[in-house]
Amino acid sequence: MQRFVNNPSEVVDDMLVGFLKNYSSLLAPTDNPKVIKTRMAGEKGRVGVVTGGGSGHKPAFIGYLGRNMVDAVAVGEIFSSPPAKAFYDAFRAADGGAGIACLYGNYAGDNMNVKMARELAEEDGIKVMTVVANDDVASAPKGEEAKRRGVAGEIFMWKAGGAKAAQGASLEEVIAAAQKAIDNTRSVGVGLTSCTIPAVGKPNFHIEPGKMELGIGHHGEPGIRVDPLGTADQVAEEMVNIVIPDLPFRSGDEVAVLVSGLGATPVMELYILFGKIAELIEEKGIKIHCSYVGNYFTSLEMMGATLTVMKLDDELKGLMDMEAESMGLTQFKR
């Protein structure tokens, strides 16, 4: 492995040391080494926004901790759900007495661990409500949306939920805004190469050179189809053709667009993809209100990209436009 690693079993702990040092003005550790919070977390009377998930997705999940974003994060091992205790401790860290909005992705482990943490928190009198992201179109057919995985669309869910909480909204209102965000969001991933969990030491799966895997998951879950790798324009068109008809997004809609790399794809290529994606979306009469291109939600050193599109209404537009400060997403006044 050509990687910067000490003990491969301790990469998450080692990463957190550097991360906290670098963001020490914004973030703080907690008593639980696998829970990180913002310095303002737990502000009295404000709904706490919590997420969590396996590591290896930088900037997700801890990179979305910040002002008007997420208040506390439960950190799991690489590609593995955080334990129930980490979610529970994150709820406590973010609790300001107005309840906790736990906004996370649809994975079996996260579902079970959040459920147990929620039961523990409720014994303490902390009310926890959840939104489970399921934006990955390729992970289950239309009509079975509840089975779909959560991928980069989670970022829009956190942005909307975090902004709503910052406005002083109630728990029910924060949950409704985050739910609306994810219900209006669709994503797809395309993988070009595999990735290696340091503690495992060899690639998780294999993609033949010259091929691409359409619909690949954030942990290398195989996609729906393996095709010959086309040009950037052809790949962009495939992605748009999967995402746009699913919601469906229609002429006259306004959208937010996110193109994220999966870790090892040069950012230059993400812009090549985005140029075509934007052209194709606009050709359909859909207006791009805001867009994000870069490494927003990765999968260790996989090569590949994801496309995420969210349909906006006035409320979501306002929430996306609200100022925010985090490692992964900073929004200046618009």
Partner 1 sequence: MSGFANKEGSVVVKALIETIQKNKDYLSEVDGAIGDGDHGVNMEKGFSLCLDRVDWANTTFAEAMRTLSRILMMEIGGSMGPIYGTLFGEMAKVAKDKEHLSSADFSQMLNAAVAGIGGLGGAKVGDKTLLDALVPATKAFDDSIAAENDFAAALTAMSEAAKKGWESTKDMVAKVGRASRLGERSRGVYDAGATSCYLLLTALADSVRPLLK
Q: Which residues bind partner 1 (CB under 8 A)?
A: 9, 54, 76-86, 107-109, 111-113, 116, 139-140, 147, 149, 197, 199-200, 202, 204-205, 217, 219-222
For partner 1, the closer of residues 46 and 218 by Cβ is 218
Residue 219 designated active-site: yes
Of 57, 206, 218, 289, catalytic: 57
For partner 1, the closer of residues 111 and 234 by Cβ is 111
For partner 1, the closer of residues 14 and 313 by Cβ is 14
Closest Cα partner for 65 from 40, 83, 33?
40
Distance from C-alpha of 71 to C-alpha of 212, rounded to nearest angstrom: 37
Least distance CB 326 / partner 1 (angstroms): 23
Least distance CB 174 / partner 1 (angstroms): 25
Least distance CB 242 / partner 1 (angstroms): 15
Distance from C-alpha of 128 to C-alpha of 171, rounded to nearest angstrom: 9
Least distance CB 104 / partner 1 (angstroms): 13
Residue 218 designated active-site: no
Query: Do you find a cis peptide bond into 248, omega within 30 degrees of 0?
Result: yes
Closest Cα partner for 11 from 79, 68, 107, 111?
79
Closest Cα partner for 88 from 140, 54, 126, 132?
126
Distance from C-alpha of 19 to C-alpha of 21, rounded to nearest angstrom: 5
Distance from C-alpha of 231 to C-alpha of 203, rounded to nearest angstrom: 25
Of 206, 218, 219, 289, catalytic: 219
Question: Which strands sit side by side in the sheet containing 185-191, from one edge to the other?
Answer: 225-228, 211-214, 185-191, 304-311, 254-261, 287-294
CA angle 318, 25, 98 (to 5 degrees): 50
Least distance CB 60 / partner 1 (angstroms): 15
Closest Cα partner for 212 from 242, 247, 184?
242
For partner 1, the closer of residues 141 and 245 by Cβ is 141
| Residue 313: exposure state from Cβ atoms within 10 A (0-12, 13-18, ≥19) | exposed
Least distance CB 312 / partner 1 (angstroms): 28
For partner 1, the closer of residues 133 and 293 by Cβ is 133
For partner 1, the closer of residues 171 and 199 by Cβ is 199
Q: What is the separation of C-alpha 224 from the centre of its chain, rounded to a whole number of angstroms?
A: 21
Closest Cα partner for 240 from 328, 305, 332, 318?
305
Active site residues: 57, 219
